[in-house]
């Protein structure tokens, strides 16, 4: 009897020890998972991992970045936002993430101007960036701008009836300037009265002067461009008021008249409101990932024949079914054959040239009202203005992060393969289970 008893005791002891060992292993794995966070990305092209460019931006952060995600209790949205943010948090201890339910913090949401569920606010020192469209390219671009924003300067041409960068009137640009300063951009007026040239390391903004510039002022702009300065020119329909030599330098011409857009009549309530949707944007780094609709009041079309060494890339094409109205703008306007010109029209163009190792950049838009206080809140107008300024001043080595696709996101089967798999599930697996059951029954019966 001792033999069977000791054998059963040994078996029970082995089972107990195995159970205890299993529990210990599970506990150890749980402890390690809680203490150490490590992710493995086995997807093709590593699309669920940060790119090397993003890691470089994180490595160069000058200080800790506080990231606040304003997300309601929506599990799907929360998971999507958290998945991307945690990649950054795992890659850098400087990236700190917190979540806020906007319904529980209405005062803070109003103060920060949070409009969309899922908006992410990034703060580095006293600088801020808000992202309503969240992907790796947008997030890394925002981090880069935060870490390099102190180097960016904007100078507004003033003294000729231009839109004021700090004026509060509807046609002024104070809202746009405030958004730029929130990103750490130094925005100032040009002091042309002193006769000094524009700072060579700044981006010059010309916003549709209302009176002619003096010859010396135009010469100063030409010297600035010749020295490699970047330029954002917001041109309105009508005369150039002395800026003809600047336009000639790029081979640029404005199409006579104001663009009439039937789509703008439907959406904006006025025929001289031109509308641009994502289908109207051309492929360009300044518009990468830009998916907003933008509104352009009183816009002019652009034509160009760039002169060497300049090259031109069109950014926005609008009003395919519209025309350029050369007559007075009234409640009802109609196309006049022989006077007006049919669309489509190029609204914005980027001019570039190589200067040694760097690229000089110029952007011309046939409308300045879209950034004015009255219209900057429409659609993506503000975002477009910020994108253009960032492209004019930013380092593309960090900004241009191409989206990565992978071949393992879709399984394509031929008709025969699909039929074989279907028959396998319908008949093959049941037959296999039946055969296994029959085999077990026969084996037990034969004992």
Contact 144, 395 (CB under 8 A): yes
- Mean pLDDT for the stretch of residues 99-105: 92
The two tokens of residue 426 are: 């319908």
- pLDDT at residue 260, rounded to an integer: 92
- Across 199-207, average pLDDT: 90
Where does CATH 3.40.30.10 sit in the chain? 44-144
pTM over 0.85: no
| Residue 34 confidence (pLDDT) | 63
Q: How far from each other are the two terminal CA atoms of the chain, in whole angstroms?
A: 26
Distance CA 100, CA 71 (A): 6
pLDDT (0 to 100) of residue 197: 82
Name which of 157-166, 196-205, 235-244, 291-300 the model is least confident about: 196-205
Comparing 264 with 315, the larger pLDDT belongs to: 315
Answer yes or no: are the C-beta atoms of 322 and 262 closer than 8 Å: yes
pLDDT of residue 183: 66
Residue 441 is encoded by which pair of tokens? 């029954």
Domain 44-144 CATH assignment equals 3.40.30.10? yes
Q: Which residues of the chain does CATH 3.40.50 include?
A: 152-399
Task: Output the pLDDT for position 192.
Answer: 61
Which tokens in the block code for residue 400?
């241009």
The pLDDT, as a whole number, for residue 406 is 44
pLDDT, the chain, mean: 84
Residue of 202, 181, 367 lying closest to 275 (CA atoms):
367
Percent over 70 (pLDDT), the chain: 86
pLDDT digits (tens, 9 = 90+) for 109-137: 998 888 889 999 999 988 888 888 888 87
Q: Would you call the peptide bond into 304 cis, given omega within 30 degrees of 0 as the criterion?
A: no
Residue 365 · residue 234 · CB < 8 Å? yes
Average of per-residue pLDDT across 27-37:
71
375 pLDDT above the threshold of 90: yes
Q: pLDDT-derived band of residue 400, with 50, 70 and 90 as boundaries?
A: very low
Whether residue 51 has pLDDT greater than 90: no
The pLDDT confidence band at residue 364, using thresholds 50, 70 and 90, is: very high
How high is the pLDDT of residue 194? 52
Quote the pLDDT of residue 205. Answer: 95
CATH class of 152-399: alpha beta
3-state SS string for the chain: CHHHHHHHHHHHHHHHHHHHHHHHHHHHHHHHHHHCCCCCCCCHHHCCCCCHHHHHHHHCCCCCEEEEEECCCCHHHHHHHHHHHHHHHHHCCCEEEEEECHHHCHHHHHHHCCCCCCEEEEEECCEEEEECCCCHHHHHHHHHHHHHHHHCEEEECCCCCCCCCCCCCCCCCHHHHHHHHHCCCEEEECCHHHCCCCCCCCEEEEECCCCCCCHHHHHHHHHHHHCCCEEEEECCCCCCCCCHHHHHHHCEEECCCEEECHHHHHHCCCCCEEEECHHHECCCHHHCCCCCCEEEECCCCEEECCCCCCEEEEEEEECCCCEEECCCCCCCCCCCCCCCEECCEEEEEEEEEEECCEEEEEEEECCCHHHCCCCCCCCCHHHHHHHHHHHHHCCHHHHCCCCCCCHHHCCCCCHHHHHHHHHHHHHHHHHHHHHHHHHHHHHHHCC
Closest to 250 (Cα-Cα) out of 349, 377, 316, 341: 349
| Average pLDDT score over residue span 51-80 | 87
Model confidence over 145-178: pLDDT tens digits?
787 655 678 899 998 999 999 999 999 999 999 8
pLDDT at 361: 95
34-45 average pLDDT score? 55
Mean pLDDT calculated for residue range 349-358: 93
């Amino acid at each position: 009897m001792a033999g069977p008893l000791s054998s059963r005791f040994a078996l029970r002891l082995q089972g107990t020890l195995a159970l205890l060992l299993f529990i210990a292993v599970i506990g150890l794995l749980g402890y390690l998972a809680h203490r150490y966070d490590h992710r493995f990305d086995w997807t093709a092209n590593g699309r669920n991992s940060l790119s090397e460019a993003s890691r470089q931006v994180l490595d160069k952060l000058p200080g800790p970045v506080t990231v606040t995600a304003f997300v309601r209790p929506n599990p799907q949205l929360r998971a999507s936002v958290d998945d991307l943010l945690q990649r950054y948090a795992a890659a850098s201890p400087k990236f700190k993430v917190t979540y806020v339910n906007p319904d529980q913090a209405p005062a803070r949401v109003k103060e920060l101007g949070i409009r969309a569920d899922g908006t992410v606010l990034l703060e580095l020192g006293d600088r801020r960036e808000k992202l309503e469209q969240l992907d790796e390219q947008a997030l890394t671009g925002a981090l880069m701008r935060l870490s390099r924003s102190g180097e960016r300067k904007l100078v507004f041409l003033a003294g000729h009836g231009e839109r004021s960068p700090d004026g509060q009137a509807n046609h002024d640009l104070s809202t746009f300037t405030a958004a730029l300063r929130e990103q750490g951009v130094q925005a100032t007026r040009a002091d042309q009265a002193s006769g000094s040239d524009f700072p060579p390391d700044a981006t010059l903004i010309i916003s549709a002067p209302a009176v002619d510039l003096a010859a010396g002022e135009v010469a100063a702009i030409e010297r600035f461009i010749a020295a490699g300065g970047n330029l954002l020119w917001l041109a309105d329909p009508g005369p150039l008021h002395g800026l003809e030599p600047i336009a000639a330098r790029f081979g640029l011409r404005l199409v006579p008249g104001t663009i009439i857009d039937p789509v703008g009549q439907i959406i904006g309530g006025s025929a001289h409101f031109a509308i641009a949707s994502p289908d109207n944007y051309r492929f360009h780094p300044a518009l990468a990932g830009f998916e907003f609709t933008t509104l352009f009041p009183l816009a002019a079309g652009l034509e160009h024949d760039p002169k060497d060494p300049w090259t031109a890339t069109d950014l926005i094409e609008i009003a395919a079914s519209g025309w350029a109205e050369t007559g007075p703008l009234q409640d009802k306007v109609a196309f006049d054959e022989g006077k007006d010109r049919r669309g489509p029209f190029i609204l914005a163009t980027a001019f570039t040239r190589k200067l040694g190792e760097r690229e000089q950049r110029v952007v011309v838009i046939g409308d300045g009202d879209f950034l004015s206080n009255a219209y900057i809140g429409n659609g993506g107008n503000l975002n477009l203005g910020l994108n253009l300024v960032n492209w004019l001043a930013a380092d593309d080595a960090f900004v241009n992060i191409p989206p990565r696709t992978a071949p393992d996101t879709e399984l394509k089967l031929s008709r025969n393969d699909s039929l074989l798999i279907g028959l396998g599930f319908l008949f093959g697996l049941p037959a296999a289970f039946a055969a296994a059951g029959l085999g077990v029954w026969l084996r037990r019966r034969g004992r």
